[in-house]
Amino acid sequence: MTLSSTTERQIHDLRQNLRELGSVLVCYSGGIDSAFVLAVAHEELGECAVGMTAVSPSLSEGEKEDAARIAAKLGAAHRFVDSHELERAGYVQNGPDRCFHCKSELYDIAEAKRREWQLAAVVNGTNRDDLGDYRPGLEAAKNAGARSPLVEIGMTKSDVRAAALAIGMDIWDKPAAACLSSRIPYGTSVTTERLAQIGGLEADLKALGFRQLRVRWHEKIARIEVALSELELMLTSGVREAVVTAGKKHGFQYVTLDLGGYRTGSHNEVLVGRALRIV
């Protein structure tokens, strides 16, 4: 395929950025951003690039499987490690800074593993668009000295998708994902039981054919967000009933559809001055 001059330059700059680091531990979730960084790092550095996926109850089983599958297809070194953010009081309390505590745990683990695996730097998949959102996890990355190559060379989410397509990644259009804890309203504690409810229902919805979705947890109520293009499917005879049945199976008394559709960080909409952009 013919590359745009911008995409060609960005891929070149990312390759150079990673080569200069020499060896890297990629904080790799299986999402498109970190997967793209891992792909290019593997191409440039081989076994000196290792993808690290932190596993905890906030990582859905589907995303864990995806991370393994994608890394295997890339041929990249990939390791799962246990994460214990649920042992951090600030995380469990689930204030607006929850992500800071989660990422602090991640980068503490990453730094320990970087030293153990004798790698030069910890890198992540943060892109320029992330800088405009309310993301306290960025402060944790800064505190840890983690590098953000995509930010450093000026790549946005759309740039990443275009570049991933250009280098032949079949997940270039993979829907955005986030940890399951992001589905729980601020001030409501994060528990393994609640995470299991959310993850279980989301898995059932994906099995019904929904691609871009979130299950927002509101005690007895599941507030479901799907892409606007998938609203019609939700109301299709047979599917609607299956969604209600799945919700009740996972412990929700009421199953509701958010007519605003899917958008990132809708729980942040209650935070004055901190709402995420609707995309």
Q: What is the pLDDT of residue 132?
A: 76
Residue 135's pLDDT is what? Answer: 80
pLDDT number for residue 19: 98
Distance, in Å, from the CA atom of 37 to the CA atom of 27, rounded to the nearest integer, reads 9
**One domain, residues 161 and 187:** no
Q: Is residue 99 part of a domain?
A: yes
Residue 173 counted as domain residue? no
With both helix axes pointing from N to C terminus, report the angle between 137-144 and 98-116 in degrees, rounded to the nearest 10: 30
The stretches in the chain having pLDDT less than 50 are 273-279
Q: Please state the pTM of the whole predicted model.
A: 0.90
The CATH number of residue 126's host domain is 3.40.50.620
Q: Which domain holds residue 34?
A: 5-166
In a domain, 174, yes or no: no
167 φ, ψ to 5°?
A: -95, 10
- Tell me what pLDDT residue 278 has: 29
Q: Looking at the structure, do residues 67 and 150 belong to the same domain, yes or no?
A: yes
- Would you say 22 and 44 are in contact if contact means Cβ atoms under 8 Å apart? no
Domain count, the chain: 2
**Contact in structure between 177 and 65 (CB atoms under 8 Å):** no
Which amino acid is residue 13, in one-letter code?
D
